A = this chain, B = another copy of it.
Amino acid sequence: MGSLHADNLESISVCSQNPLDPDEFRRQGHMIIDFLADYYRDVENYPVRSQVEPGYLHKRLPESAPYNSESIETILQDVQKDIIPGLTHWQSPNYFAYFPSSGSIAGFLGEMLSTGFNVVGFNWMSSPAATELESIVMNWLGKMLKLPESFLFSSDGSGSSGGGVLQGTTCEAILCTLTAARDQMLNKIGRENIGKLVVYASDQTHCALQKAAQIAGINPKNFRAIPTSKATEFGLSPNSLLSTILADIESGLIPLFLCATVGTTSSTAVDPIGPLCEVAKRYGIWVHVDAAYAGSACICPEFRHFIDGVEDADSFSLNAHKWFFTTLDCCCLWVKDPNALVKALSTNPEYLKNKATESKQVIDYKDWQIALSRRFRSMKLWLVLRSYGVANLRTFLRSHVKMAKQFEGLIAKDKRFEIVVPRKFAMVCFRLKPTAILDRKLGENGTDYIVEDQTNEINGKLLESINASGRIYMTHAVIGGIYMIRFAIGATLTEERHVNLAWKVVQEHTDAILGGLNGNIDHQLED
């Protein structure tokens, strides 16, 4: 480091300026805006999935922090040279992996404002606007989703209502609601029974639930990932839930929590919320609905039916940072009974006491979440809702769904491929069919030895070959034993031409892979 002996040199390197000097802020801020505007202009040209090797950055950066200051110009050069090659470009129009992380100008500006104000809104007093704007936008979005009144703040501000809160991620949202449910139950049955509590989900439920259950001290043996099947399109069957619950009760265990999903990660499957609640409620189970990805689409009337039944759930969440043009992180959580959260999560140290809290006329959001400190996240959601309005937001979402349909149409024309599960939103799950590979193999040696395993392997090779090219980026899932490629549309910059290009890339790599299998290439296009 050498910092200590260099301390006598400090006079040389001391900034003459305050590190928040308004004029310097203006100068450097404009530079970064231009840098990012150029990035968006050029992002299409970068390899989507980063092509660096593990450890690449350790080789480029020094071992220790600099002793003296460096200029923003130097730093931005290094961002371009050292950081950008190590990014996987989630904002690229050629990004179709995982789920989208859909940025927007409004979301970015909102984040800038909240970062600029840099208030720490743990309670109302610490920045009333942060708390109040959050309650307001959560009601706005709740109404756009046609959530029942019981999830919204009452307009008269009375404390006996539901309400919404912004969390960082779904895992945090689930951990908070699970902790609330757990403590509510343990207060009834005694804390010594924590080892008997059972958490339910389907085998398609996001791993966030399992993680939240681990953290909350639920015995891992009492985590039920109930199998799903093609028969229910990989949605959780209420009958399966019921029989699992009954078996647990028979074993002396205590049902606690169900997480139902609208739009699973693997295949955007939808659990039937209403029928699941009907079963769960018989046994006093807290039902959380995780609509992290697909919840956004439910602001469009034609998709709203996917959350029918939510009125019987206890909590509902979606990630505005996935497919709602709001930058990471912004998980919207609504609960019917905020007091359950507050009872489980509140702390009341002397140093935070204040008149507003004592008046009980205000919300202190610190008691609705894990952490004490919290960012002014509602600012960006407010800007997104106002900058675009309900109409444009619907249009944006529909354009992604339309492009997904377009991609489906392209697949349908190539008989080497199949759609593995029906498309519901803007993600298409497809694969090279066994017969496409079988034909090649038969051509080679006439023996029918192709099995699903080999189909899976070849689809995996196809995906890796495509991703390694850097031209587009998709990811995979395995469902019902089938390896499939997920084509998730939602990057804000994606247009029809990118979808057409993506299909061309898929075909080219398919030609190469299949050609490699039998030494020649011929397209099996239908016309």
Contacts and interface: CB of A to CB of B under 8 A. Distances in A.
A20 B155 CA distance: 34
A127 interface: yes
B392 A13 contact: yes
B391 A477 contact: no
A519 interface: no
A9 interface: yes
B23 A37 contact: yes
A28 B140 CA distance: 24
Nearest to A57: B132
Interface in A119-177: 119-120, 124-130, 132-133, 135-137, 139-141, 143-144, 155, 157, 168-172, 175
A72 interface: yes
Interface residues of A, number: 172
Contacts of A29: 33, 36-37, 105, 108-109, 112
Contacts of A15: 388, 392, 395
B118 A90 contact: yes
Contacts of A19: 104-106, 325, 387-388, 392, 396, 492
Contact of A475 (B136, B351, B371): B351
A19 B325 CA distance: 8
A329 B109 contact: no
A279 B32 CA distance: 51
A274 B495 CA distance: 60
Contact of A211 (B214, B372, B379, B464): B372
Contact of A217 (B13, B194, B350): B194
B373 A328 contact: yes
| Chain A interface, DSSP helix/strand/loop, else mixed | helix
A144 B489 CA distance: 44
A86 B127 contact: yes
A478 to B, nearest CB: 5
Contacts of A372: 169-171, 206-208, 211
State how many copies of this chain the complex holds: 2
Interface stretch (A62-70, A232-240, A250-258, A281-289): A62-70
B10 A391 contact: yes
Nearest to A217: B217
Interface string A367-392: 00011110100010001011111111
B58 A157 contact: yes
Contact of A105 (B14, B20, B103, B266): B20
A144 B105 contact: no
A365 interface: no
Given A54-B124, A54-B128, A105-B25, A36 B113 contact: yes
26 contacts: A3-B391, A7-B391, A10-B391, A19-B388, A20-B40, A21-B105, A39-B117, A52-B129, A58-B157, A63-B155, A65-B143, A66-B390, A101-B118, A103-B118, A118-B328, A170-B372, A207-B352, A208-B372, A211-B347, A214-B344, A215-B344, A216-B217, A217-B217, A266-B350, A350-B477, A351-B486
Given A22-B37, A25-B108, A215-B216, 4 more contacts: A13-B392, A20-B40, A172-B370, A216-B217
